[in-house]
Structure 1
Amino acid sequence: MSQFPSEQLLTFATVLSEGTLDAAARRLRITPSAVSQRLKALEQSSGRVLLQRSNPAQATEAGEVVLRLARQVAQLEADASVELGLGTDGPQLAVPIVVNADSLAVWFLQALARVPSDLNITFDLHRDDEQHSTSMLRSGTVMAAVTATPDPVQGCRVESLGVMRYRAVAAPVFVDRWFADGVDGGKLNTAPTVDFDRKDTYQWAFVESWPDASKAQQKGPRHYVPASQDFGDAIRLGLGWGLIPEVQCGPDIAEGRLIELAPERPFDVPLYWQRWKTASRVLDVLSSVVREVSAEYLRTP
């Protein structure tokens, strides 16, 4: 008998995906008591506490190992289903992926839309800053990631996708008020800035790239707007200046709704695709589509 029965692994992964035992029970169409019994049996067989029963539930360090196993088993079952031609009659795989907000807004959904329907998969998207997304690969929370980290996470392979180019922009009325005498690092820092969230360091990195960055040792006032469309709208409405992907702000610059603050200073962010190394038709097809679509939107490194 397997030390880790597939139904127990599925239940464990579902609890972490849904956040609570009750929600997992509804998803699996079993009772909460059955969920609890499966988790208890899995912890007994592993000899470890696997789950922090918080709200939402979280995996312990040992639980992250078992979660990776659960994801891999589900992936292998889905691959076998596809290869046997079972189609939608086979087990449906939920593919967890972490992606940064700008990629999600600009091109990543286009990639998912091109994934063949006969793979019989759904997508469980997690949004996180591209500088931090690899932590979800390490924990087993996701199978793949769009990341700014070129070094492969253990057990993963990595490939370059291209460069997301950003432009520093602001509304005309904002420029008239804050940059009437020109733009430099000190003025950029003094003027109100729009950041996506507190993980977003791009605006500050842009300020530091200027020769007079020493004048801007302390960050100026910030607005935090954690949604890609709303972030751009905040800048268009004059709340502050910020970096917007070139593909999103280009038409606004051309039509005068936004003014580029430093046309000679684009801000480039290399992006990479990291995925599990395990042989998988699902991940192979997904990776191929991601590679194809990213080439249409990102610049060559």
Structure 2
Amino acid sequence: MDLDLAQLRALDAAVTHGTLDAAARALHITPSAVSQRIRALEASLGRVLLVRSKPVAVTESGAAALRVARQLDALAGALALDLAGEEGSRRLIPLGVNADSLATWVLPALAGLDGLDFEFHREDQDYTVSYLRDGTVMAAITADSAPVQGCTVEPLGVMRYVPTAEREFAARWFPHGVTAAALREAPYVDFDRKDDLQHRYLRKHRVDEATPPRNQVPASADFVAAVRLGFGWGMIPMVQQPQAGDDVIVLDEHGIDVPLYWQQWNLRSPALDRVREAILAGAAVLRSGR
């Protein structure tokens, strides 16, 4: 199969920027040229790749083509840097990261990597692999140990989540510690509908998650703030406990352990290798037993 790099780049630009007009501006060509390149690629592959909506969306076949397009672009960029040897040249690395890792250890781990820019796609650790499958990201932190096709996987460690509450809240709702009866009555804080941690802890105590009052706060720092302000109890990672402050307490040290893994494209890229090394080093906090 002969693949045209210009056609693949047109597909990538359309998906990245959302419209054919925006893709044309990014590629410095006309919208008609973008459309023609994508249609030519669809004709050569015999598949419809793009849904012309706003923003545009890829079909299942389009996701596979997009992944190849972005991998080839990464290889071409690495080759250009090797041949030119230009200092100051930069590479954009799109990564899939769960919110709690992004709020705690990932940013410090990646700080100081000169010549690299990052595009973070935040998603629950159970769902970040979807970004790898459709080619949106080059690598992801995920709870899935099964490698996505065309990717390698390495264990990072375990993020332990423990039920945490503001002191006065704990005294009011959990005067005798964590019990099923208390969990049925006490309000709790949820991250979003995809976050299953609070529900898993409730089910562990044979409590239906629909029974207690629920507050939804879909941002990692704000989630911790909501717990600290007494909106409810919530599952906070041990690595995030220092951010919670002294006015909160851990209700139960035997929380829920979530193993995390690093999955990345199975290709040789000096830029991606640097990111991998930084992530593996930064993840030492997950292996410290905290």
Q: Hey, what's the Cα distance between the residues in 2 that align with 1:275 and 1:251?
A: 30
Task: Please list, as runs of the form range in 1=range in 2, the aligned pairs for 1:143-292 lying within 5 A after superposition.
Answer: 143-210=138-205, 213=206, 215-216=207-208, 218-250=210-242, 252=244, 255=246, 257-263=247-253, 265-292=254-281
Amino acid at match of 1:266: G
**CA distance in structure 2 between the aligned counterparts of 1:49 and 1:190, rounded to whole angstroms:** 52
Q: CA deviation at 1:287?
A: 0.8
Within the alignment, does 1:122 sit opposite 2:114 as a pair? no
Q: How does 1:21-60 map to 2 (within 5 A)?
A: 21-60=20-59
Q: Which runs of 5+ in 2 are unaligned?
A: none
Return the offset for 1:178.
1.6
AA of the residue aligned to 1:258: V
Change beyond 3 A, Cα 1:290–1:178: same
1:41, distance to aligned residue in structure 2 (A)? 1.9
Tell me the secondary structure at the aligned position of residue 232 of structure 1.
helix
1:137/1:153 contact within 8 Å kept = yes
1:218 Cα deviation after fit = 4.2
Structure 1 residues 252 and 45: alpha-carbon distance in aligned structure 2, compared to 1, 3 A threshold: closer
2:111 counterpart residue number: 113
Q: Is the 8 A contact 1:74 1:93 kept in 2?
A: no
Give matches, 1:65-80, under 5 Å. Answer: 65-80=64-79
- Matched length: 289
- Secondary structure in structure 2 of the residue aligned to 1:298: helix
Measure, in 1, the Cα distance between the counterparts of 2:51 and 2:113.
Answer: 35
CA contact (8 A) 2:201 2:255 kept: no
| Alignment partners' CA distance in 1, 2:204 and 2:170 | 20
More displaced stretch, 241-250 vs 141-150: 241-250
1:288-299 pair list within 5 angstroms: 288-295=277-284, 297-299=285-287
Whole-Å Cα distance in 2 between the matches of residues 29 and 259 of structure 1? 56
Q: CA deviation at 1:138?
A: 1.8
Residue aligning to 1:101: 99
Q: TM-score, normalised by structure 2?
A: 0.91
Cα distance per residue 1:124-148 (max 9 Å; x no partner): 2211110111122122222211001
Aligned partners of 2:49 and 2:61 also within 8 Å: yes
Pairwise CA distance, 1:57: 1.4
2:190 counterpart letter in structure 1: D
Once residues 186 and 8 of structure 1 are traced to their aligned partners in structure 2, the CA distance between those partners, rounded to angstroms, is 61
Q: Give 1:167 shift.
A: 2.2
- Give the whole-Å Cα distance in 2 for the aligned partners of 1:61 and 1:82: 32
Shift of 1:7: 1.7
Whole-angstrom distance in 2 between the partners of 1:217 and 1:142: 33
Q: Distance in 1 between matches of 2:147 and 2:244?
A: 37
The aligned amino acid for 2:146 is D
Q: Superposed, which structure 2 residues align to 1:79-98 within 5 Å?
A: 79-87=78-86, 93-98=91-96
The answer on whether the counterparts of 1:102 and 1:245 sit within 8 Å (CA) in structure 2 is: yes
**Which structure 1 residue ranges, 5 or more long, are not aligned?**
none
> Over the residues paired in the alignment, what is the CA RMSD in angstroms?
2.1
Cα distance change of structure 1 residues 242 and 160 upon mapping to structure 2, 3 Å threshold: same
| Deviation, structure 1 residue 152 | 1.1
What amino acid is the match of 1:220? Answer: P
Cα 1:85–1:294 change in 2 (3 A) is farther
Displacement of 1:162 in angstroms is: 1.0
Shift of 1:64: 1.1
